[in-house]
Amino acid sequence: MLIFQRQYEDGTPSASQLLGEGILVAMLGSFFAGWLFPNEAGIVAVFLASIASTDSIERLLNWNRALILSKTVSPATANGRIAKRLLALFIGTTIGFSIFAMVLPLDQVESLYSHQLQELANPQFGDMAFGHPGDIAIHNIYVLLFFFIIALPFRQGGVMLAVAWNASVWGATFAVLARNWSATETISSFEAYGRVLAACGPHLLLEASAFICAGVAGVFLSKAFLRYALESEAFGSVLRSVSMLLLIGLVLVLAGAVLEGLFASHLVGWLAS
């Protein structure tokens, strides 16, 4: 984001800076979207947040490439570092959407994020259902492939669009669940939010990490198509990195599906009591 660029060491944002940037772009995107485009604010907020952070993602990609070319670390280590920083951006964006959804009147939140809340069948935390691990895995593999495919033509813009959309869905959903809970029980909305996050956060972090791996893989492959001949060793090296990132993403998706399908409902029951 432009206002942070002077603070980036060597021009590359750190994980803590990306966390703060994510919070800010989500809140600013929601504010301006609600002000200028109230009927489609939830969608416009996602696009504004995406646009604001594409420069930071491009900087991360250049940093990753420089690390690999300099051979100061292995490609796997470099890819792990960029994934961690993108995860920080994702977490910050989720928090930013949640903050906005926690402070506005609830009816405005439901209107502002109407698209994000369409799949929230039951707004009561204690009644949440998560489904069978197999069904969850199939759905999340589809999302994983979507992250990968959208990054091929749109590169960092596609990655951030997917990140911002999922962050807005989770941020708004967590806030609405917490506020509905606090309205009917003797619990503060912030404590309720913490319990919702504790129940849903573990499997969602695995899913978010998987989707980020897929998005980074798509960007790497897209850039390799333009830079290298298909039969070159350089292209083969990128292809191996892409394959490894997708494999890691698949493993994370499957682990998240097992955690969500088998254990999340027990966490909800314990934390809702």
Q: What is the pLDDT of residues 73-98, one digit of tens each?
A: 888 888 889 989 999 999 999 999 99
Instruction: Please write the tens of the pLDDT for every residue from 9-50.
Output: 667 888 998 999 999 999 999 999 988 888 888 999 999 998
| Residue 174 within a domain | yes
Total structural domains in the chain?
1
Using CA atoms, how far apart are residues 176 and 173, in angstroms rounded to an integer? 5
Per residue in 237-263, pLDDT tens?
889 989 999 999 999 999 999 999 988
Short-list 267, 261, 265, CA closest to 139: 261
Does residue 5 form part of some domain? Answer: no
Give the per-residue pLDDT at 80. Answer: 87
| Residue 4 counted as domain residue | no
Residue 34's closest CA among 55, 49, 18, 19?
A: 49
Query: Does any domain span residue 183?
Result: yes
**224 lies in some domain:** yes
75, part of any domain: yes
Query: Of 109-123, 183-197, 239-253, which gets the smallest average pLDDT?
Result: 109-123
Mean pLDDT of the chain: 88
Q: Give domain status of residue 52, yes or no.
A: yes
pLDDT at 234 over 80: yes
Instruction: Inform me whether the pLDDT recorded for 206 exceeds 90.
Output: yes
For the CA atoms of the chain, what is the radius of gyration? 19
pLDDT at 31: 92
**What's the domain range around 198?**
12-272
What pLDDT is recorded for position 272? 79
Q: Look at residue 7 and tell me if it is in a domain.
A: no
